[in-house]
Structures are given as C-alpha cells and as structure tokens.
Structure 1
Amino acid sequence: MQAVFHHSNDENTLQTRVVNNIANLLNDETIDLDDVVLVTNSGGLQLVLEDSPERERVVELLERGVTVKQCQNTIEGTDVTAADLIDGVELVPSGVGELTRLQNEGYAYLVP
C-alpha cells in the first residue's frame, strides 16, 4: 500500500497533526506499507524549514523512510532557498503536479 499526505497550511496545530498522522500510519502494524510520501506546498512550507517547531519529528519521519517533497512554486517569490529546508527534503516543480502523479500511480491521498 502507498500513501501520500498533503500539507498546505502554516498553522502549528495542523503541522503537528500531519506529523502525528504519518507516525500513526507508520506505527499501525495492520497496514502493509510500501511507501509513504509527504507533499508540502503553500503554507505547508513552514513544516519543512530548518527552524520548524516540528523539525526533529520531520527528521524522524525521513529516517523511517518517509519521502518529503516541497513545491518549488511555493518557494519562488519568497526569501526561502533549498538551503533553508530540512536535509533530505526534495524539491518538486509543482506540489499539485506531484500529488496528481502519485494519485495516478495508486497512492492513497490523505489530508489530515
């Protein structure tokens, strides 16, 4: 089974929620997971920055094999560069394009 989480909000409680939801899925022994991806865009950028309050938990997810992808379109027009992202976060040209591609490949789409 494959799952993609979509996060596009800069609200701290929602950042915590998405990280909790991903960890809960990873910890659920009744689910046979092949791949888990987190795609962030818009306000979700705040979750994957080096100074994110959830930084350590995002790093833990990366270490557990979660792929984290940030929308390049969101970064354009901000002061943020790829160097400001948590190590291991990948840039994709378009967050919505990546979500569409993954759903087309059979990933379950989740928005906590």
Structure 2
Amino acid sequence: MHCSAESSADQRRAFANAANLLGDSTADVDALVVVLNGDGVSAARADSPVADEVRGLLARTPAEATDADASAVEVCVCGNSLAARDIPEDSLVYGVEVVSSGMGEISRREADGYGYIRVP
C-alpha cells in the first residue's frame, strides 16, 4: 500500500484500509507493506496523530498477533522525503523502516510479486 497524503484524516483512512484488508478473511494476504513517501512520511513520526495506528499495524506480526491468521506488516518511509522535510530517523515510530526511496521500494516490491494499492 502506498500513501503520500498530508492530512492526518487521509493517513488514518489509509491505515484503516490496511487493517481492514488484514482483517478480511476472504483476502489472501501473506504480507503487507505500507510505503509512506512525500507528505505521507509525517504519519510515521512517533508524535503524529496517527502514530497509534502505525504501532497497531506493526504489532500485527505472526509472533505478536492475537489471531493466528494475522499477516506480517512492514511500514517503510522514504529516506528522501524525510531528508527533504528535516525529519530525523530517531523521531519515527519504533519498527518503521527507512528505505532509500519510496518509489524504489514500491518498484522492488512489485518486482518481487507484491500488488500495488494506492491509499487513500
């Protein structure tokens, strides 16, 4: 899933969509990656209005999930976007991965067989 939305309402909707996808027993999801770039990187800040949603998704790993069918989730942020906005990596929610570029990460994931969903 790809999010570059600036508003916390749009970011919250994006994370709700991700949670809904994971909760849909009819969807065959082995793993989910949320890639944040552009203004969307602000969602990954530990003090962001949607930080709890980010933490909630990151907690949905097979080892920590309460439901045995939960999928592994990664949240990646674009290093270029962080640098452009002077957001230090140590201000991010624990567990968020910084990647060199959001678009590069999306391209790599698609080459590995991941689908692409733009949210919101």
TM-score (norm 1): 0.91
Structure 1 runs of 4+ aligned residues shifted over 3 Å read none
Match of 1:27 in 2: 23
Residue pairs, 1:5-16, within 5 angstroms: 5-16=1-12
C-alpha displacement of 1:79: 2.6
Match of 1:37 in 2: 33
Distance 1:96 1:79 in 2: 19
Aligned residue for 2:87?
A: 80
Q: Give the partner amino acid of 2:109.
A: L
Q: Which has the higher contact order (CA 8 A, sep 6+)?
A: 1
Which one is further off, 34-43 or 71-80?
Answer: 71-80
Rounded Cα–Cα distance in structure 1 between residues aligned with 2:36 and 2:51: 14
- Structure 1 or 2: more strand by fraction: 1
What amino acid does structure 2 have at the position aligned with 1:108? G
Name the CA distance, whole Å, in 2 between partners of 1:77 and 1:29: 39
Q: Distance in 1 between matches of 2:52 and 2:46?
A: 9
Q: Please state whether the residue corresponding to 1:109 is helix, strand or coil.
A: coil
TM-score (norm 2): 0.86
> What are the superposed Cα offsets for residues 9-59 of structure 1, whole Å, 9 maximum, x if unpaired?
111221011011000001001122211000001100111001111111110
Aligned length: 108
**Residue in 1 that maps onto 2:65:** none
Give the residue type in structure 1 aligned to 2:99. V
Gaps spanning 5+ residues in structure 2: where? 62-72
What is the alpha-carbon root mean square deviation over aligned residues? 1.0
3-state DSSP of counterpart to 1:76: helix
Aligned-partner residue type, residue 97 of structure 1: G
